[in-house]
Amino acid sequence: MKKEILRTIIYFTLTVLAVSYLIFRYFVMTAPSDFHIEGLVPAAFSVIFYSIASIHELAKCHGKYFWTAIRCSIFHPTSKVYVSLSYLLQIKTSGDNFYFLVKGNKIDQYQPVGGVFQIVGSKNIEKDWNAQLKTDKTNPRDLRFYVQASKIPEIIQWFKSEKDRETGVWREFREELIDTGVVSEEIFKTTNVEFLRTEECILKKETRFDNEKYHTLIYKVFRIELTPEQENEFNKLKNNKKFTEDYAFVKRKDIESECFDEHKKRIGQHTKYIL
């Protein structure tokens, strides 16, 4: 990506120089020589057309991330960015359309089952991206860290490649629901998971943590396909009690308003991504 950004800067600079020359030629010069008329003018137009076409091809190649790369590399290269790369699981009971949430263990709110992906293999983000880790002692490989904005395009490309990182969603499901005894391990020996979409919040202005200016949050959203037996397990929980200190069953309107139980219980902002 760095080479493409450098090329873009070069093309843009050449275009500005060529346009500046043409303005000078047609609005300032009164008696241009043949060298200008037959040499420099055609050359300037050629530079403009070639540069614009090249920038267009680069933009088309990188799609929606092209402007992100420009922002990160040119406008905010040294800004501190908090990065979180995670997944969310949509668990919904059929018929009544209740969404199942769990109580967050770091923030006093209810949110979808899920969490940050983890590094696998020998990937060293501290060395590769000069990242500052934001992890706890029990999860040292979590993909939650700080970097300079100039590294964001490379991080996005790496994340999309799925190389050297966790790709499954079973770990958090087990930790939050089975290991805690919320649902039966026997009934949830296997689960079918459907990928729904990716939700991104890139270079969002934030000052939640010390010295950071922006957040870059990427969520992979999945839906758990419940078998009749598994759905019955969740229905038993719901019929027994719609919310406890460990979990809650909420409606769409609750998620949209980010609260339930007469505004006493908070729902995390990112929960809307499972709707």
Each domain of the chain, given as residue ranges in start order, spans 2-63, 78-274
Mean pLDDT of 42-55: 84
What is the pLDDT, as a whole number, of residue 61?
A: 63
The pLDDT tens digits for 58-69 are 676 666 777 788
What pLDDT score does 134 carry?
83
Q: Which pairs from 171-175 meet CB under 8 Å and 24+ separation?
A: 171/115, 171/118, 172/87, 172/89, 172/113, 172/114, 172/115, 173/89, 173/113, 173/224, 175/115
Strands (E), the chain: 80-90, 99-103, 110-111, 113-116, 132-133, 144-148, 192-205, 214-225, 247-250, 259-260, 265-266
Least confident of 23-37, 98-112, 128-142: 128-142
Of all residues in the chain, the percent with pLDDT exceeding 70 is: 92
The pTM of the full predicted model, rounded to 2 decimals, is 0.81
143 sits in which H/E element? none
Dihedral, 122, 125, 126, 127 alpha carbons, nearest 10: 70
Is the sign of the CA dihedral 141, 201, 65, 153 positive or negative?
negative
- The Cα-based distances of 264 to 242, 248, 254, 258 in angstroms read 14, 13, 12, 10
pLDDT tens-digit profile of 70-109?
788 778 888 999 999 999 999 999 888 999 999 998 889 9
The overall average pLDDT reported for the chain is 89
